[in-house]
Chains A and B, each alone.
Chain A
């Protein structure tokens, strides 16, 4: 089983191990990854971000469309343990009232404390979109508000919207990869395997896609999308656009690798055994590219995240009332608004965190899966 899996990662060649200490390639890769502290850090951040995304409804103190009509552009409210009245073991927040609508200044009412409580019953939601529930991880006593990252132009809690938005921002890369991988592998595999004229024509075709400046193509393609569709449909369409742009470069990588793989003896053996071409490509050659695929995909996901957020930022991607990290930043693009409410930049920090984490983890994976990059044991 272990051996099968290591072969699936595409590391058929074995490094000699001292007697009594035989390790499979997967174990070697895992050992190498564990040593790469930055990669582990990246992986850890990803685990946290995805956990937040999966349990967004439960962790978020408010729902996606919950709006406090009296608190537009409210600054962040962080729970504290101490105020003029003294220290409290249970964190609390103070209430606020709008003092100056023009400058959006809020007066803090230091007299009243609203304590933070865990596992509170608040706005109803459906966990994973199915299970109805009213349980939230935390909240403050009514009518207090806990806006960890402030509110937006409609008085919606930005922290909650970031959590909901992470679902779109963090899945779009994976979804795009899920479409890109099979197309790119088949296309690149066929081109590399047959070579010659077919290869020439196929590569010329993919070069045309690569020739466009990426953002220009993203932008004009998303302008083609019908505007009167729901968030989910639009999300899938953006995914398709990202894959339409991504498959070309990916298939060229696969093709390059297949060009060298097809000269190996085992391919010759498979041919001699009378297997048909398609079977050879799919069952024997393409599995050998899997470690490259894993790395390229891990390093490619941040590109998709950045692409989606840029599109949504300009209003061409995922639109209101849905939230994605990119379209949450749209409000901040109005400079007078941004200057009065700098907390609107918070979603950007999540984009950076996710992209850095994917890059660190991907680099670590590359070192771990490539025997040449392994440090000696």
Chain B
């Protein structure tokens, strides 16, 4: 097991190199850069721009720039944001925390809703409520988050029940600590709703399919013929085994903790990493874009690795050696 993890980690090295190379290539290919826009500014002299260029190492040949970036990134130094005038790692750190917080809550809510719904749908296969649930699931996975986000913002304005976008109110700083938590929670309701519905749809379908598969097994028939109550059969015997495959999905969702909410964050003004990358792309803030790309991919890869390991741990039939 440990050997397997070690080998997977070793596999990651060329992959991470590839990820950084592609990110670097994309950044280099994009026309214009942040300094080009500063150059247009009549207040800034050409010498200043040239000095900035030298400071950021932008006058070096490409491979030197890449290697330099890589070397610094290994020490968690992702360069300097042109637009915000702070080290990228500062920016990313706080944005990362916001994204992870939003996604974790959405994730917990989704699982708490999806599993019981999936069980319900499987037990009443092809009844009205099963069909209604699966049609809602189709709707859920087919609705773009920017649309549902806008729609909820509209409702929030009409009802006045929820704040319209953002993560904190204007008076957030003067609130006591519990008020701050409540404030953020209040702002979180709508984005969690959008993200939650999206993952409930997928999870519920998966849970339903798994449980239906398990309910056909012999040991379920045995349990029933022993005279166990239907509730015991479902809850103690079937559900436990049906949840098993979901563990892989759990790992994959860990990987999606950053990328999953990108579009929604922009619509709802949630100051996460998805909002950061869109802003940075528009402003050509290249080190920020590069760092977001790389960090987003690294979490995704790490999530997949965790999914793999969890699967092996939960299912003794799978062996890696």
- Chain A residues at the B interface, C-beta cutoff of 8 Å: 38, 204-205, 207-209, 211-217, 219-221, 223-224, 226-227, 302, 306, 309-310, 313-314, 316, 329, 332-333, 335, 338-339, 342, 345, 348, 351-352, 355-356, 359-360
Chain B residue nearest to A356 in the complex (CB): B142
Q: What would 20 A/B residue contacts be, using CB atoms closer than 8 Å?
A: A209-B22, A211-B19, A211-B300, A212-B297, A213-B256, A213-B259, A216-B297, A220-B23, A220-B27, A220-B30, A220-B277, A223-B284, A306-B144, A310-B144, A329-B150, A345-B154, A348-B143, A348-B144, A348-B151, A351-B144
B148 nearest CB neighbor, chain A only? A348
B292 CB contacts on chain A under 8 angstroms: 216
Cβ contacts B252-281/A at 8 Å (1 or 0 each): 000010111011001100000010011001
Query: Do B18 and A208 touch (CB < 8 A)?
Result: yes
Majority-rule SS of B interface residues? helix
Within the complex, the shortest CB–CB distance from A165 to chain B, in Å, comes to: 14
Contact B147 A352 (CB under 8 A): yes
Cβ contacts B78-104/A at 8 Å (1 or 0 each)? 000000000000000000000000000
A360 touches B30 (CB 8 A): no
Q: What 9 pairs across the A-B complex have the smallest Cβ distances?
A: A213-B259, A348-B147, A355-B142, A208-B18, A356-B142, A213-B296, A211-B297, A224-B29, A224-B30
Identify which of residues 186-208 in chain B touch chain A, using a CB-to-CB cut-off of 8 Å.
Answer: none
> Within 8 Å CB of A359, what residues of B?
138, 141-142
Q: Is B111 an interface residue (CB 8 A)?
A: no
**Residue from B153, B259, B266, B300 within 8 A of A314 (CB atoms):** B266
- Mark contacts of B12-33 with chain A using CB atoms, 8 A cut-off: 1 yes-contact digit, 0 otherwise: 0011001100110011011100
Known A211-B297, A314-B266; judge A220-B26 contact (CB<8 A). yes
Alpha-carbon gap, A333 to B267, bound state (A):
7
Interface size band for B: 35 or more
CB neighbours (8 Å) of B23 from chain A are 220
Q: How far is the CA of A211 from the CA of B262 in the complex (A)?
A: 16
Q: A224-B26, A310-B144, A356-B138 are in contact. Are A219 and B278 (CB under 8 A)?
A: yes
| A211-B301, A329-B147 known; A314+B278 contact, CB < 8 A | yes
In this complex, the member of B11, B27, B144, B297 whose beta carbon has the largest number of chain A beta carbons within 10 angstroms is B144
Contacts of B19 in A (CB 8 A): 208, 211-212
Residues of B within 8 A of A355 (CB): 142-144
Q: How far is the CA of A178 from the CA of B11 in the complex (A)?
A: 32
Chain B residues numbered 104-157 whose CB sits less than 8 Å from any CB in chain A: 135, 138-139, 141-144, 146-147, 150-151, 153-154, 157
Interface residues of B in 222-261 (CB under 8 A from A): 256, 258-260
B289 within 8 A of A: yes
Q: Which residues of B contact A332 (CB under 8 A)?
A: 150
- Do most interface residues of chain A lie in helix, strand or loop, or is the interface mixed? helix
A313: chain B residues at CB < 8 Å are 144, 146
Min Cβ gap A358→B in Å is 8
**Known interface pairs A220-B26, A356-B138. Does A215 touch B262 (Cβ–Cβ under 8 Å)?**
yes
Closest to B27 in A: A220
Q: Are A219 and B277 also in contact (CB < 8 A) when A213-B262, A224-B26 are?
A: yes
Q: Which residues of A contact B11 (CB under 8 A)?
A: 204
Residues of A close to B263: CB separation below 8 A? 215, 310
A74 to chain B, nearest CB (A): 18
Bound-complex Cα distance A329 to B263 (A): 14
- In the assembly, what is the distance between CA of A313 and CA of B147, in Å? 10
A345 touches B259 (CB 8 A): no
Residues of A within 8 A of B281 (CB): 219-220, 223, 316
**Contact for B15 among A211, A216, A333, CB less than 8 A:** A211
Q: Smallest Cβ distance from A214 to chain B, in angstroms?
A: 7
Tell me if B309 is interfacial: C-beta within 8 Å of chain A: no
Contact of A216 among B139, B165, B277 (CB under 8 A): B277
17 more CB-based (< 8 A) A-B contacts, given A345-B150, A355-B143: A38-B135, A205-B18, A208-B18, A213-B256, A215-B262, A216-B262, A219-B277, A220-B30, A309-B144, A316-B281, A339-B154, A339-B157, A339-B158, A348-B150, A352-B139, A355-B144, A356-B138
Alpha-carbon distance between A207 and B19 when the two chains are bound, in angstroms = 10
Q: Which of A207, A316, A351 has the most CB of B within 10 A?
A: A207
Cβ A335 vs Cβ B157 within 8 A: yes
Q: Is B185 an interface position by the 8 A CB rule?
A: no
B289 to chain A: which residues have CB within 8 Å? 220
A310-B146, A314-B278, A360-B138 are contacts. A212–B154 as well, Cβ < 8 Å? no
**B138 cross-chain contacts in A, Cβ below 8 A:** 356, 359-360
